[in-house]
Structure 1
Amino acid sequence: MAKTATKGTKKVTAKPAAKPAAKATAKATTAAKGAAKVAKPAAKAMAKAAPKAKPAKKAGVKLSMLRPSVNNMTVRVFTRAAGLDHSETDAWGLTRTPEFLARNPAHLTPMIEDKGLPRGVLWESCAIMQYLANKHGLDKFYPKAPAKRAMVDSAMFYLVGTLYPYVARATYPALGFPQYAGEVGHSDAHPDRKSEAQKAAAAAIAEPLEVFHSFFRDGKPFIGGANPSIADIRLAATLEFLAVIDYALPKWAKDYMAAIEKKLGNAYAEPAGDVRGYIAHVKSQAAA
């Protein structure tokens, strides 16, 4: 009788207790799942709404420059057109100071300071543009394809080796810039001799200038093709100086310079404005 009673008691008390507990657990589990389903969209919404943390801004390139110079204008245009983070320091009157010479014994501008450089600094406008274009992958301004890059390089080297010396000899006397040692303009030659040399240099500009039109552009809007390359920026800036001697640019050159300014917008117009302002000042002084 005891065994039977015990068994019965167990059956009667165990089953009713277990079912409510199981049901309660099941309900709790279902509720938890429902809450999780509600919580996931809410979490996603909060994640979207929360502002993303901006990465720390890297230090930009430090540029030392002279506003009236077209060599300096070249890099000033490029850094703006390329959207590079940079700061500018006017080095007028500072290039021969011990502090400047300690970093740049050539005392030349434009000069950039960048941690990635072996000596920390770099001068020469074409080298600066090449370096920055390579570092930041700016193929638009300096193509990676060997043949296209070679043409851009050739145009720049032809400019600095052939065209620019003529431009310098023709314009520096009027601009009040120092003449290069060994040049007639730098010597004690009679003013008539200096004037003759200046006129001869101006007359020589037409031939190399036409080479840029017929060979390097070859029917394209720019040397770089549809978009201005670093060679185009260097050429356009160089031609800005010719206004000081009222040089009669051919129509294609005028259109070419206007097209570059239109394409690059304020990136070109702002630095060009400094050069043009200086030229206007020089011409007004000469006329006074």
Structure 2
Amino acid sequence: MAKTTTKSAKKPAAKAATKPAAKAATKPAAKASKASANSAPKAAAKSAAKTSAKQSAPKAKAKSAKAGKSGLTLSMLKPSVNNMSVRVFARAAGLDHSEIDAWGHTRTPEYMARNPAHLTPMIEDKGLPRGVLWESCAIMQYLANKHRLEKFYPKAPAKRAMVDSAMFYLIGTLYPYVARATYPALNFPQYAGEVGHSDAHPDRKSEAQKAAAAAIAEPLEVFHSFFRNGKPFIGGKNPSIADIRLAATLEFLAVIDYALPQWAKDYMAAIEKKLGKAYAEPAGDVRGYIAYVKSQAEA
């Protein structure tokens, strides 16, 4: 029986900064929630933790998919959908692991000595060339390969290519739109070069945010018509790592009350039903943060 334990890193007073502009220019907003969640107000994080604790399912003792799997350590940020992806996957795959809340900790010398990109999620696992690995998609690919979890990441080259394509399309096309549309409402900073990061007039920033939200519909439909193509999930009968990454990403849209098409609502509900508590607990943390942010905006 796999067990998940959560540890909290000491939260120093200094807040984490956003990623360098050069990095952001290379991959605009694809990794944004990792760094930006670090930069959200500490008070919001505390309140989100309380809210999500009430809304989340009890900590799951995920069923182990294979016996004898070695444990690993996951450093994560609860309000982040990028982090949520790996948290869901680790539980759904039944991997023994411990979680460390890295809030306010990613810029410390100790963390950056292991992870100079200062990103989460980050895993520490024996056998990795540098001992650690970050990037949510890379982490899920690595763990699925290591533990031969073909249910989540098919071995057949053609099927695997479709899963990879869906994930890369998400981080390269859909997620930047989601970030630009939701980060202002989430109180996450945007990247250098973005209108939201500039000293532009608030009306200009609002227009850019609305344009990003309007642009979401097209890539979202691509997931429905092309990658799913009549199947319950991108992975077929069972959710793949691409499905986990997509469902987690769509969770952020609740903060702007985005009108998801019915198929997307049904799709997300089907994934949560299929994965059960493995999905519900990490999703509860994200939803708790969103509920807190919306309550503050209405106050």
Other-structure match for 1:83 = 94
Could you tell me the TM-score, scaled by structure 1's length? Answer: 0.80
Query: Which runs of 5 or more structure 2 residues have no equivalent in the other structure?
Result: 1-66
1:239 lines up with 2:250 in the alignment = yes
1:272 lines up with 2:287 in the alignment = no
Secondary structure of the structure 2 residue equivalent to 1:163? helix
Alpha-carbon shift at residue 178 of structure 1 (Å) = 1.4
Other-structure match for 2:124 = 113
| Residue of 170, 174, 178 corresponding to 2:189 | 178
- Say whether the 8 Å CA contact 2:69–2:95 is kept in structure 1: no
1:195 lines up with 2:181 in the alignment = no
Secondary structure of the structure 2 residue equivalent to 1:63? strand
Give 1:158's aligned amino acid. Y
| Larger Rg belongs to | 1
Q: Distance in 2 between matches of 1:114 and 1:244?
A: 34
Runs (4+) off by over 4 Å = 56-59
Q: Deviations over 1:224-276 (max 9, x none)?
A: 00000000000000000000000000000000000000000000000000000
1:214 lines up with 2:246 in the alignment = no
Q: Distance in 1 between matches of 2:224 and 2:296?
A: 34
CA RMSD of aligned residues (A): 1.0
Other-structure match for 2:238 = 227
Alpha-carbon shift at residue 115 of structure 1 (Å) = 1.3
Alpha-carbon shift at residue 116 of structure 1 (Å) = 1.1
What are the within-5 Å matches in structure 2 for residues 246-257 of structure 1? 246-257=257-268
Other-structure match for 2:270 = 259
1:98 lines up with 2:109 in the alignment = yes
Give 1:110's aligned amino acid. P
Q: Distance in 1 between matches of 2:75 and 2:148?
A: 23
Query: Which runs of 5 or more structure 1 residues have no equivalent in the other structure?
Result: 1-55
Q: Distance in 1 between matches of 2:68 and 2:145?
A: 20
Other-structure match for 2:64 = none
Give 1:77's aligned amino acid. V
Q: Distance in 2 between matches of 1:132 and 1:62?
A: 12
Secondary structure of the structure 1 residue equivalent to 2:160? helix
- Say whether the 8 Å CA contact 2:77–2:83 is kept in structure 1: yes
Q: Distance in 2 between matches of 1:106 and 1:248?
A: 35
1:157 lines up with 2:168 in the alignment = yes
Q: Distance in 2 between matches of 1:240 and 1:253?
A: 11
Alpha-carbon shift at residue 181 of structure 1 (Å) = 1.4
Q: 1:58 to 1:264 in 2, by over 3 A?
A: closer
Q: Deviations over 1:91-141 (max 9, x none)?
A: 000000111100000000000001110000000000000000000000000
Greater helix share, 1 or 2? Answer: 1
